[in-house]
A and B are shown apart, each in its own frame.
Chain A
Amino acid sequence: MHAPLKFTNHRIEEYALKVTYRPEDDTGKIIYNLSLIESRDLEFALSVMKEAHKRGITISDRLLVTGPGGQVGGYTVPDGRHGICTMCSITLDALLLQRGIPASPIGGGIVEVDGRVAQRFTSMILYRDTTLDPLEVLISQEATSILDVMRRGKGNILANIRECHMEAEQLLGTVLDELSAIGFSGILDVGAPNVPLLGVPVSPQYIGVAMVGGTNAMAAVREAGRPVVTRALKGLIDIREMDYLDDY
């Protein structure tokens, strides 16, 4: 018998309930994505991640690298591979919900960037309508050009969007400021109440918040022709187990 299907908005909410991350004292659990690369590509992947972080298309400089045979959340990294855990952008939704901000995730898609500025979503899959993580499947569409965004400031990246009630605008601003102060870097754009953000409409009296996907750097590695398998929304991990990009 197959289990009833779980749509991504439900999966996000379930994870959000389990996040215990406290950015101010850098403790607790965050949501991570897991990417598998060939071990020989590790140096290359790390250099791409560093570059992507410099260009602002990662959401955090925290990562966990696990070698062949190593364990991540009960998963054993196969021979000849390395596992790289990065922070999932849904961690942001969890943080907003925990602060009592009425927020709901809308969907994930592809954002066109020009002149280093996010212009508009060109593809979108709504979370309530999919059981798959949109960004995980969109990577395979070869519709991203993250390397171009890194080099020339122009191309397509993975991103997602959520909306918050405008009543919480001030608190939202405070939380986002706190997060950027501690290196949470991936906020693409915050809209005005009732105004579509990057072409995506919001509910009446809501504000859109767009954020870069947590797997852009890994998608960039894939664009460079290196094999990468990414699983978004993989699970929860203690932030203290994660290292800093600068350590590599």
Chain B
Amino acid sequence: MTPSIRSERKYLEILRILAESHEPLGAKRLSEKMAERGFVLSDRAVQYYLQYLDEMGFTEKVGNRGRLLTEAGIAESESALVDQRLGFIISRLEQLAFRSTFDPSTATGSVAYNLSFVREEDLQAVTAAFDEVAAAGYGFLNAYRIVDADPRIPDGHAGIMTACSVTLDGVLQKMGIPTRLEYAGRIAVDEHGAAGFLDLIGYRGTSVDPLHLFISAGLTSINRLVTTRAGVALANVRAVPAAARYRVEVTVGLMEECGFTFPAGGGIGEFNLPKHPYRLSVVALSGMNMVGNAIEKGYTIKTEIGAGTVPFEKIADATGSR
């Protein structure tokens, strides 16, 4: 019987911490990180948990530097305790929204980014696909940055940062506007720029990343959109208090001046989304549209959604395609 984690939330949390770390972690450092997340454990208790994880084959010792996840451990962190993983993606995104510091009135501060991994031999063709989306204005920010010196990038691959639309949520939050990221969706756009959603997946009701799901299920037609102006792109939806409408409109206007793009009418309004009398929907195009276009063309790309934050100018000036 293959070992698996059944009931202990703490095991999953240790696996998650190790999955996010790109270097080995020792028991002391792990117990500090566990405490940050509300699991107070002595170093000795962490040792005990780690010993169990070693026996299960999920972690392994790297000399005396600490532990790393094994392949089985990575798989287990993506399989165990499904109810604990519903809404986990959104929680990661919210963390980044909070950490981003972008100020649209000065076009300074940091933005959240997604990090895509591309085989080096595909890099040129993939960036050409990204450029198509940028030129047509269907990225969240119509720029991207190629990175090569980053420990997260596997050998033989290049990394590409694209701006993640939770940057918008970070901006709204810092203005005191409560924002709640609700759905990822696919949005049909016609030649006149009118847009309506075809499908939605609520971030809090899925353990699988919804944007990857839309792309891999072949439910987008980003390439048709960027070449003919009619097609299906990825977008996401947050709800803000209806009373904040004016402030949101001003903010979206400022972000547009900084080069961010929003669908029809600044993304504010009802579209064909579920209605709520006191809530306003704000729709942003997904940074994943660039990735989606390249995948539609047949390239293999792995993307970490919400991989971190980066100074705005580092990504906005990188390709100059605005």
Report the stretch among A2-10, A80-88, A171-179 that lies at the interface: A2-10
Contact with B along A1-34 (1 / 0, CB 8 A): 1111101000000000000000000000000000
| Chain B residues whose CB sits within 8 angstroms of the CB of A140 once the complex forms | 213, 216-218
Q: Are B2 and A154 in contact (CB under 8 A)?
A: yes
Contact with B along A142-185 (1 / 0, CB 8 A): 10000000000010000000000000000000000000000000
Q: Are B274 and A4 in contact (CB under 8 A)?
A: yes
A41 an interface residue at 8 Å Cβ cutoff?
A: no
CB-based nearest A residue for B215: A140
Known: A124-B207, A131-B199. A137 touches B83 (CB 8 A): no
Q: Are A138 and B208 in contact (CB under 8 A)?
A: yes
Contact with A along B123-150 (1 / 0, CB 8 A): 0000000000000000000000000000
CB distance from B99 to the nearest CB of A (A): 26
CA distance A199 to B275 in the complex (A): 32
CB distance from B28 to the nearest CB of A (A): 31
Please give the number of chain A residues whose Cβ is less than 8 angstroms from any Cβ of chain B in the complex: 35
Report the stretch among A55-63, A97-105, A114-122, A213-221 that lies at the interface: A114-122
A125 an interface residue at 8 Å Cβ cutoff?
A: yes
Q: Are B205 and A130 in contact (CB under 8 A)?
A: yes
Known: A2-B271, A2-B272, A141-B216. A124 touches B82 (CB 8 A): yes
CA distance A3 to B272 in the complex (A): 6
Interface centre among B197, B212, B213 (most CB of A within 10 A): B213
Known: A129-B204, A137-B213. A112 touches B79 (CB 8 A): yes
CB distance from B37 to the nearest CB of A (A): 21
CA distance A140 to B80 in the complex (A): 21
Interface centre among B6, B196, B201, B273 (most CB of A within 10 A): B201
CA distance A125 to B271 in the complex (A): 24
